[in-house]
Amino acid sequence: MVKQVKESKVKDITKAKHVFKYPEVGVPFLWPFSFFIGLEEEGLEVLRDDLKYLKEVEKTQVEKPKPTWATKNKVKLDLNTLKLRDFSQGMRAGLYTFIVPPYAGHTSMIVDFHNKQSLVETLMENGIEKVCAADWKSATEEMKNYNIDNYLSELDICVDELGGRVNLIGMCQGGWLAAMYAARFPEKVNTLIMGGTPIDTDAGEGVIKEYAHKFPMEFFEELVETGGGLMKGDYMLEGFKSLQPEKQYFDKYVELYDHIEDPSYVKRFENFERWYEYTINLPGKWYLQVIKELFKENRFFNGKFIGLGRKLSLRDIKCPVYLLAGAKDDITPKEQVFNAEKHLGTEKNDIVKDTADGGHIGLFMGSKPLREDWPRIAKWIKSHPGR
């Protein structure tokens, strides 16, 4: 009977969609009690579920606790833009594999999301013994005038700390930064892996490409001005949510309520929302440079981007390269990733193109890519031991 009552409530909530086309994040607080009237004894148990639901929404959407790293690590360096985290256990021989996570308004923990759902863990379980990751810091007012050069410089400091030569893994926006680094310092990169990386930003039909060309620079400049010289992570989060408003403002709350008695579902929801809802800010100058020079003008792909005083070209990258795209990625379509092959200086037989079964975020923490694609990548890395 209780199950029937809950099913009836979920149906009522679904009907509410027509009343709230784009509900505020706080609106889910009202749903359980607004449909509680008329229930009798069964309502007591439903009320318990309501309270569980409200507690979960408050924890993930209001309190927004900072995400934590799943794998034990130590901080090797603490720089202006990042902390360098080392996951290696004990003294190991060989090169470090250095992960450059996305820097797009969320924390770097996406690459070490959760036990059994972690890129760091997957690499280590597949024989990559020396693993480090950049832990991007939220930009402060003092950092508002930082540009891409600041980030390339501190990546170089990290690589020197790691022995001067690394296997470099760049994810999403971290991918083009890693590729720029490999073009600027080719002798310091043994292998380069780019996952979901927008290299040819004019290719395909991605939503970021659409928005970058749809709005004038004045629009993006006003966002930065409103943020006091920073691109606020909260602004970016609302932008990501606007790509799927029905899912982000309605469906996920209905699904949570429908599964509130399933501890494993609630835990997965809590883990993801803890990462997704916690945002970090970006330097305004860095953000505007990315929009203008990379997404509007596609300078890096065309060999016209200036990094650390030198024109950077993909042709200067000579190391083996692994290109990973998502079959369902609507943020970075596979053409933006794979077109890098056209300009890379790497020998064709040293370039691998791989399409994972999943979307954009799934490339970093999806169960199938972690189970199928990343073990292959780990094996590929080990086949290039370097010096």
Q: Are residues 330 and 344 in the same domain?
A: yes
Q: Are residues 175 and 285 in the same domain?
A: yes
Q: Are 156 and 185 in contact (CB under 8 A)?
A: yes
Closest CA to 220 of 170, 293, 151: 293
Q: Are residues 186 and 42 in the same domain?
A: no
What integer pLDDT is reported at residue 2 of this predicted model?
42
Within-domain flag for 232: no
Number of domains in the chain: 2
- Checking if the pLDDT of 31 tops 60, the result is no
Q: Are residues 269 and 290 in the same domain?
A: no
Q: Are residues 56 and 165 in the same domain?
A: no
Provide the sign of the torsion angle of the four alpha carbons 379, 383, 384, 386, taken in this order. positive
Average pLDDT along the chain: 84
- Give the span between the Cα atoms of 14 and 57, in whole angstroms: 18
Q: Which two tokens stand for residue 300?
A: 């890096």
Within-domain flag for 129: yes
Kindly report, residue by residue over 57-110, the tens digit of the pLDDT.
666 665 567 888 999 999 999 999 999 999 998 777 899 999 999 998 888 898
Distances (CA, A) of 30 to 54, 114, 115: 9, 31, 34
Kindly report, residue by residue over 292-336, the tens digit of the pLDDT.
999 999 999 999 999 999 999 999 999 999 999 999 998 899 999
3-state SS record for 315-350: HHCCCCEEEEEECCCCCCCHHHHHHHHHCCCCCHHH
Q: Are residues 89 and 139 in the same domain?
A: yes
Q: Are residues 199 and 89 in the same domain?
A: yes
Within-domain flag for 131: yes
Which of the pair, 221 or 68, is modelled with greater confidence? 221
What integer pLDDT is reported at residue 43 of this predicted model?
53
Within-domain flag for 295: yes
What integer pLDDT is reported at residue 250 of this predicted model?
66
Q: Are residues 103 and 160 in the same domain?
A: yes
Within-domain flag for 33: yes
* DSSP assigned state of 301: T
What integer pLDDT is reported at residue 1 of this predicted model?
44
Q: Are residues 164 and 59 in the same domain?
A: no
45-59, 173-187, 247-261, range with the lowest pLDDT = 45-59
Query: What is the secondary structure of 226-275 as a DSSP string?
Result: HTTTEE-HHHHHHHHHHHSHHIIIIIHHHHHHHTTT-HHHHHHHHHHHHH
Within-domain flag for 234: no
Within-domain flag for 128: yes
Q: Are 258 and 140 in contact (CB under 8 A)?
A: no
Locus of tokens 């060999």 = 303
Kindly report, residue by residue over 171-209, the tens digit of the pLDDT.
999 999 999 999 999 999 999 999 999 999 999 988 888
Range of the domain at 377: 74-209+281-382
Q: Are residues 156 and 303 in the same domain?
A: yes
Within-domain flag for 58: yes
Q: Are residues 40 and 80 in the same domain?
A: no
Q: Are residues 86 and 14 in the same domain?
A: no
